[in-house]
Amino acid sequence: MSSPWQSGSREQALEALPEIDSLAKEVLTTEKYEETNKVVSMLLKPLKKRKWAHAKLIMEIGYRPTRPLFYLMPLLQGLPRNTRDCIRYLGDYLDLLTKELAFEYLGGNSRQSSLGKNAFRLLKSNLSPEIQDIAKTLIRYNSFLYTPGKHDFTLPPGRKHRFTAREVVLTTYVTAVMAKRIKAVSKKARTAVEKDNLYIIGGRWGSKRRVRFAGDE
């Protein structure tokens, strides 16, 4: 089976906005960043090679918590199409983990607050440099990726889609790294992943309560 992309779309699929590419270069190791180039190139090839790229992305991000990662799996397997939905579910995953991180260290209504609000509160806290560094990256992630994925339906100049295949691959790898960093400093984030039933992912895309705490803690 041939690639689903015509030449013009193929070139666009390889693009990434400078702010997204810069974020990836800062978060990923050189080896991981170079690996994303291979994965993107495979997404533009015939089906057998696309399946390799799909599997690589799924292995990178993992399977738990099943909500939202269970919802993400078929979308990754559909790449290079449905790029916006991939960005949304990847953002949902970090939103969930950040809610738990913020609740563990700051309490209050962290589990009902948005990713951006929690990240800003963590940044302004007197917590460790590691947590503040995580917060800085989350603020950029939220600004460049998650918020546009949910709310911005305009298109960058010359594009047919808001996000490209390359941006999804970069975001998958960045999300995987940031998730590991959050879980490393937050017991509650690790517990949320292990219990796998503390959050509900739902509601309309633009909803402020898309990622909702449903646990009994």
**Rounded-to-integer distance, Cα 7 and Cα 10, Å:** 5
What pLDDT score does 217 carry? 59
Fill in the amino acid letter for 186: S
* Residue 171 confidence (pLDDT): 98
pLDDT score recorded for residue 2: 41
Over residues 119-158, the pLDDT tens digits come to: 999 999 999 999 999 999 999 999 999 998 886 667 677 7
pLDDT of residue 6: 40
Contact 98, 138 (CB under 8 A): yes
Which segment, 73-82, 93-102, 155-164, 193-202, is predicted with the most confidence on average? 93-102
Asked if omega into 68 is within 30° of 0 (cis), the reply is: yes
* DSSP helix, strand, coil percent of the chain (3-state; round to 5): 65, 5, 30
pLDDT at 8: 42
CB atoms within 10 A of CB 61: 20
Residue 57: which of 193, 181, 174, 192 has the closest Cα? 174
Q: Residue 70 and residue 73: Cα distance in Å, rounded? A: 6
What mean pLDDT, rounded, does the chain reach? 90
Tokens 């013009």 appear where? 8
Prediction pTM value: 0.92
Backbone dihedral angles phi then psi of residue 213, each to the nearest 5 degrees = -75, 130
Question: Following DSSP, what letter does each residue of 41-91 receive, concatenated?
Answer: HHHTS-HHHHHHHHHHHHHHH-S-SHHHHHHHHHHHTTTTS-HHHHHHHHH
> Residue 5 pLDDT more than 70?
no
What is the reported pLDDT for 82? 87
Over residues 155-174, the pLDDT tens digits come to: 677 777 779 999 999 999 99
* Angle, helix 83-106 to helix 129-141, in steps of 10 degrees: 150
d(CA 40, CA 166): 6
- Residue ranges of the domains in the chain? 7-213
Report the share of the chain in percent with pLDDT over 90.
Answer: 77
